Amino acid sequence: MKVFVSVDMEGISGLTDPEEMRAGGRGYERGCELMTGDANAAIRAAFDTGADRVVVTDSHGTGKNLRADLIDERCTLIRGPSKPMRMGEGLDASFDVALYVGYHARAGAERGVLNHTWMGREIQNLYLNGEVAGEIRLMAGYAGSLGVPVGFLAGDEAACEEARGVLGDIATVAVKKGCGRYAAELIPPARAQEQIYEAATRTLRAPERWRHLTLRAPYTLAVEWNATEIAQSCSLIPGVTLTSPRTTEFTTGDYSEIVGLLGICATIAGEIGCAGRHYG
């Protein structure tokens, strides 16, 4: 069995503060250790249920958060910035199943801890084939386009609810329950990691519980940005159209282009956002 594990940070056990997600922020180094602990719980479950290869991708920010010295030595780790497929880097049709750890709810989700879509503030809404989408739908759709089912998701309670809304009766573990965007009722990390291990083990032994998200081509990605300048700049990319002063749209028959283009647009948006941060 070949298992892909995508690990984000906002949905990791024990974390609630944006400073804990940012290199140089208070608590960041400890956050990286907790992120690696949650990832290791899923990795251990994969190997204990017969996986002969586990590929893990660091899906948060610059992709340099998982501790390479603490990650389960049996896996392969993909890390670093500007990966072409970002959160899905390393996934291809040869994998049997994908697991998502540390995932969070989309922008605007009620009681979603650290909720956002792809970027902290630049993206207001993302639409995939007309359906509002967060990172969960986006990445499940990428896996589905390759014929790979999603077997499990761990994150905050709102993320787990979102995953079930996207994929149906998928196995999930809620490691925290949001009291607001930056506060949560937590399950202590040691217990949360044991729950991740146990739930991932159960689902990996029951392939009938894995879920595919199959979207029909062509695929259309619409992004509602928080600033007109971002939308206007992204619309200069060939194939991207401006459908309103703050919204861009792109259609393709290749789902990987959806993921890749969003990454490029996010890079542009980040540069513009930093230059004009006082104007939102």
How much is the average pLDDT of 161-176? 98
- Domain range summary for the chain, segments of one domain joined by +: 2-120+134-209, 219-279
Which DSSP state fits 202? H
Is 52 annotated as ligand-binding?
no
What does the pLDDT read at residue 273?
A: 74
Classified by CATH at the fold level, domain 219-279 comes out as: Gyrase A; domain 2 (3.30.1360)
Asked if the model's pLDDT at residue 28 lies above 80, the reply is yes
pLDDT value for 279: 32
Active-site annotation holds for 116: yes
Establish whether 135 is an annotated binding residue. yes
Burial degree of 270 (CB within 10 A; 0-12, 13-18, 19+):
middle
User: For residue 216, which amino acid is it?
Assistant: R
**Mean pLDDT across 156-174:** 98
Flag whether pLDDT at 232 surpasses 50.
Answer: yes
Would you say 131 is a known binding-site residue?
no
User: Does CATH number 3.40.50.10780 belong to domain 2-120+134-209?
Assistant: yes
In this prediction, residue 99 carries a pLDDT of 98
Q: Is 8 annotated as a binding residue?
A: yes
Answer yes or no: is pLDDT of 275 > 80.
no
Instruction: Beginning with the edge strand found earlier in the chain, give each strand of the sheet holding 183-186 in spatial order.
Output: 76-78, 53-58, 2-7, 97-103, 150-156, 171-180, 183-186
pLDDT at 274: 61
Active-site residue (options: 86, 116, 176, 211):
116
Q: Give the chain's mean pLDDT.
A: 96
Is 278 flagged in the annotation as binding? no
pLDDT of residue 115: 97
Question: What would the mean pLDDT of 126-147 be, rounded to a whole number?
Answer: 98
Are 87 and 135 spatial neighbours (Cβ–Cβ below 8 Å)?
yes
Q: What is the mean pLDDT of residues 209-214?
A: 97
Instruction: Report the alpha-carbon distance of residue 192 to residue 41 in Å, rounded.
Output: 9
pLDDT at 120 over 90: no
